[in-house]
Structure 1
Amino acid sequence: MLFTDQMGHQLTLPALPQRIVSLVPSQTELLFSLGLEDRIVGLTKFCIHPEPHVKQKTIIGGTKNFRMDVIDKLQPDLVIGNKEENYKEGIEALQQKYPVWMSDIYTLEDALRMMQEVGRLTGTAARAAELAGEISRGFAALQPAQPPISTAYFIWRAPYMAVGSHNIIAHILQRCGFRNVFLDLARYPEITPELLQQAAPQLVLLSSEPYPFQEKHIAEFQALCPQALVKVVDGEMFSWYGSRLLHAPAYLQGLIRDVREGLNS
């Protein structure tokens, strides 16, 4: 069968893939959720869900540095990657040898389409549609903050880096009613303390990934923005666009409630 991925690349699968390599943590978790555990042969060192099942699979390196020799030994009949999380040169090298399907995710709708396409690719379309439907209903019931709350969402420290525009985190923030104060900047802009103070957000969110922000970092941002509420959040709930999205609406609704209470106290 002929398939077209989310970057417009075409690939042909002569039969249902039996040896799948996943290059993206959130999509790895999706494959397990689709019941494909026995057909997953390789994944990255950042693929941590679902435990302990991922530990039984071959590690092919990181998302930005594949070990081509390991992948060659696995002889995959399907490789699944992502435009943002993987690197162009590595993907192009794999495309010379194997069928590679790439996702390109900016919105919840993109993520739901990805799930259904991966379902088609792997012969699990019914289960994928079930997952996508459940996630869609969960987000439809999400009640955003009203009025919107001006927010800065940080993903890195030394230097400070925040979420800007045109990425899945920015989209999820918008769905929560958290107005991103850096939406007019680059996708992941470097933010100086002065720029943060000028933006004067009501809310500062510190993500647990990729930088592992913890409670001890709250005081650092509180000193820069004494008027703001500063909270550490589970980054997976904002940036993992596979089956982890099943858990996101309940988490986000709780966060919205806690933020409202914190700002009103």
Structure 2
Amino acid sequence: MSDAYPQRIVCLTEEPTEVLYAIGEEHRIVGISGFTVRPPRARKEKPKVSAFTSAKIDQILALKPDLAIGFSDLQADIASELIRAGVEVWISNHRSVEGIVAYIRRLGAMVGAATKADELASRAEAHLAKIAAQAAALPRRPRVYFEEWDDPQITGIRWVGELVRIAGGDDVFPELLEEPLAKQRILADPIEVVRREPDIIFGSWCGKRFRPEHVAARPGWADVPAVRDGELHEIKSPIILQPGPAALFDGIEAIHAVIARWAMRP
């Protein structure tokens, strides 16, 4: 009997690749994003056919996909080209921790692996609950500034702020977390970070290394508690800026480790 589910999937971003490998359905993938780093073997096994806002449409079509999976409005142009070429496309647009968990379950159902996807999602939920319990036991909560880009300065997206909260901290720009687009999270006045006095600064500059010394040298930032105390930390973008399993496991672990050390400091 033939498989009624998609057989030749092109993953335009990393999170569907990570999920499909995690649930043992990687044989369905015929192409991946060039930014994919999880799991490492995917880069060796699958052809890279897209960036984030651009894709090699001819190469994708040559793979004869029966489904292409992408993320967000930023991939709308890629999606429209593929749709016009007759490819079925699913663009997810989840921006919250709850949305990531639901995404895992939806994707699993789409490939006929609902049970395995539910197991992965349940493990993620249990892991988040464990971190939340550890965070609740800490003696104090830090004020946290998460910087997604440095020029212009862009604050963290919703799922990042939610993970910070679960891990034991409080995002200093809670009013910006609901803004889905990066341009809506640009800080008009960088000195506002100084006014909000974060105890910890996380940087995850997508595509380049975080430079804490550059942050510390910003005019007026010397008296920010995080700068004064040397609490400037990089969270690697593949484990926090992808709305997939990595953020729910490794990403929150990295955030919580820093927060726990800070909370227990004399």
Could you state the TM-score of these two structures normalised by the residue count of structure 2?
0.82
Residue in structure 2 matched with residue 28 of structure 1 by the alignment: 17
1:92 and 2:80 correspond: yes
Cα distance in 2 for residues equivalent to 1:198 and 1:76 = 51
> 1:141-156 residue pairs with structure 2 within 5 A?
141-142=130-131, 143-144=134-135, 147-156=140-149
- Aligned AA (1:207): S
Cα distance in 1 for residues equivalent to 2:256 and 2:193 = 26
Flag structure 2 segments of 5+ consecutive residues without an equivalent. Answer: none
Residue in structure 2 matched with residue 247 of structure 1 by the alignment: 250
Q: 1:33 to 1:221 in 2, by over 3 A?
A: farther
2:104–2:121 Cα contact (<8 Å) kept: yes
Cα distance in 2 for residues equivalent to 1:198 and 1:35 = 48
1:172–1:238 Cα contact (<8 Å) kept: no
2:164–2:252 Cα contact (<8 Å) kept: no
- Residue 40 of structure 1 deviates from its aligned partner by 0.7
Residue in structure 2 matched with residue 205 of structure 1 by the alignment: 202
- Residue 55 of structure 1 deviates from its aligned partner by 2.5
Residues 135-188 of structure 1 deviation map (CA, whole Å, 9 limit, x = unaligned): 10010111335644221111212332222x6x2212212222322222224554
1:194 and 2:191 correspond: yes
1:60 maps to which of 49, 52, 55: 49
1:235 and 2:232 correspond: no
1:161 maps to which of 133, 146, 154: 154
Segment drifting more, 243-252 vs 38-47? 243-252
Residue in structure 1 matched with residue 166 of structure 2 by the alignment: 175
- Residue 118 of structure 1 deviates from its aligned partner by 0.8
Cα distance in 1 for residues equivalent to 2:147 and 2:251 = 18
Q: Secondary structure at the match of 1:52?
A: helix
CA RMSD in angstroms, aligned pairs only: 2.5
Q: 1:114 to 1:41 in 2, by over 3 A?
A: same
- Aligned AA (2:32): L
Cα distance in 2 for residues equivalent to 1:152 and 1:248 = 16
Residues 191-242 of structure 1 deviation map (CA, whole Å, 9 limit, x = unaligned): 3442222222222111253442045546436971432232222334433332
Q: 1:197 to 1:206 in 2, by over 3 A?
A: same
Residue in structure 1 matched with residue 221 of structure 2 by the alignment: 224
- Aligned AA (1:251): A
Query: Which of the two has greater helix per residue?
Result: 2
- Residue 109 of structure 1 deviates from its aligned partner by 1.4
1:218–1:232 Cα contact (<8 Å) kept: no
Residue in structure 1 matched with residue 122 of structure 2 by the alignment: 133
Q: Secondary structure at the match of 1:92?
A: helix
Segment drifting more, 143-152 vs 52-61? 143-152
1:78 and 2:62 correspond: no
- Aligned AA (1:18): Q
Flag structure 1 segments of 5+ consecutive residues without an equivalent. Answer: 1-13
Segment drifting more, 104-113 vs 47-56? 47-56
Say how many residue pairs are matched.
247
1:156–1:210 Cα contact (<8 Å) kept: no
Could you state the TM-score of these two structures normalised by the residue count of structure 1?
0.82
1:60–1:66 Cα contact (<8 Å) kept: yes
Q: 1:94 to 1:225 in 2, by over 3 A?
A: farther
Cα distance in 1 for residues equivalent to 2:222 and 2:141 = 19
Cα distance in 1 for residues equivalent to 2:115 and 2:219 = 48
2:259 maps to which of 246, 250, 256: 256
Q: 1:47 to 1:236 in 2, by over 3 A?
A: closer
Cα distance in 2 for residues equivalent to 1:57 and 1:254 = 33
- Residue 249 of structure 1 deviates from its aligned partner by 4.6
Residues 76-108 of structure 1 deviation map (CA, whole Å, 9 limit, x = unaligned): 011111115x42222122233122122222222
